[in-house]
Amino acid sequence: MDNSWVFVHIEPWWRKANLQFLQLVNEIKPDLILVIGTQGVRAGTLAQLRVRHPQLVIYCIYPDSPHNLDTDRIHCLPFFDRVTTSSPAWVQAFTSLGARRVTYLPFAADTDLYQPTELPTGHSALTHDLTFIGTWRAEREILLNELTDYDLVVWGSNYWQKRTQPHSPIKKKWGGRSLIGPEFAQACSQSKIMLNMMDAISWPGPNMRTFELPACRAFALTERSAAVLEIFREGETIEWFDGLVEAREKITFYLKHENLREQIAIAAHRLVVEGGHTYNARVRDIVRWWELDRGKLMVPLQDYCHGII
């Protein structure tokens, strides 16, 4: 077997994809373009769209942290009529990097994927007192190691085996796979407490689990964050922890108080599903912005290019 490596230069592919993007816009003449994340989109391509279609509205829906912005992505920012960010704390950062108008658009719940499910008739592998679903991070491992005396399960990729410390007790708590879609929802219904921990990259949120857990009518114990507190109310639609001591106190308390867990879970579900925190509601926001922005005079191309080095 030939084990030699083959290196493929992908820049021509990106260039071809951007050319096809330009041709497609010329063909269908859209009123609005949504660029999700900007990976692979070239600033020059956006500049040409501005020349060819000066009345076209172009939005960037950026669902990630500023940490993941590289030079190519930053160069694209001034060409968008609006850039959305998933945390209010990042608005100024994107503005400083050259975005002309930055709007906070939090994540939401896809209620087709994330919804309450019926409980099984007996015990299942998803039935636990305490559940965490997410990617391995060192800080998460440290906290979860101190919670292994509870009936805890961790669902996620095999990073929970490969990247954890050699004798980390969390290895024995790994469920063996990731959970998505229906299984995610089932785990929410069968777990007494769902943990929601953020990390250094996604801080201060809100992250996707902030909305997905309530959509499944789960009781969520979430790491305290001012950004999340703008949407949820402590002790009413969500419960918080700040550090290990408070986490253990809240876990122990709520494991003994099923009625309180259920009350908060129902209120949180109502807030997300009926209170405008679904992706259908987010789309309506985008359409409303487009209706406002399309009537405004497009700025000259040289203004978009101002400040780009």
Which tens digit of pLDDT belongs to each residue from 21-76?
A: 999 999 999 999 999 988 899 999 999 999 999 999 999 999 999 999 999 999 99
Question: Same domain, yes or no, for 284 and 225?
Answer: no
The C-alpha torsion from 12 through 15 and 19 to 21, rounded to 10°, is 120
Among candidates 177, 134, 126, 178, which has minimal Cα distance to 152?
Answer: 126
β-pairing, 57-62 with 82-85? parallel
- Report in angstroms the alpha-carbon separations of 114 from 45, 117, 171, 288: 37, 9, 27, 25
Range 154-173 average pLDDT: 97
Assess if residue 117 is contained within a domain: no
Question: Same domain, yes or no, for 268 and 296?
Answer: no
Question: Same domain, yes or no, for 137 and 207?
Answer: yes
Range 260-265 average pLDDT: 98
Q: Which pair of structure tokens corresponds to residue 281?
A: 């509601």
Question: Same domain, yes or no, for 59 and 164?
Answer: no
Which is more confident, 278 or 10?
Answer: 278
Q: How confident is the model at residue 295 (pLDDT cuts 50, 70, 90)?
A: confident
Identify the sign of the CA torsion 206, 208, 214, 218.
negative
Q: CB–CB of 56/31 below 8 Å?
A: yes
Q: Is 90 exceeded by the pLDDT of residue 199?
A: no
Q: Is 80 exceeded by the pLDDT of residue 300?
A: no
φ/ψ region of 98 (left if φ > 0, alpha if ψ in -120 to 50, else beta) reads left
CATH number (domain holding residue 152): 3.40.50.2000
Average pLDDT of the chain, as a whole number: 91
Domain residue limits at 184: 128-276
Question: H-helix or E-strand containing 215?
Answer: helix 209-215
∠ Cα 253 109 291 (to 5°): 140
CATH number (domain holding residue 83): 3.40.50
- Domains in the chain, number: 2
Q: How confident is the model at residue 183 (pLDDT cuts 50, 70, 90)?
A: very high
Question: Same domain, yes or no, for 271 and 301?
Answer: no
Residue with tokens 């929410």: 188
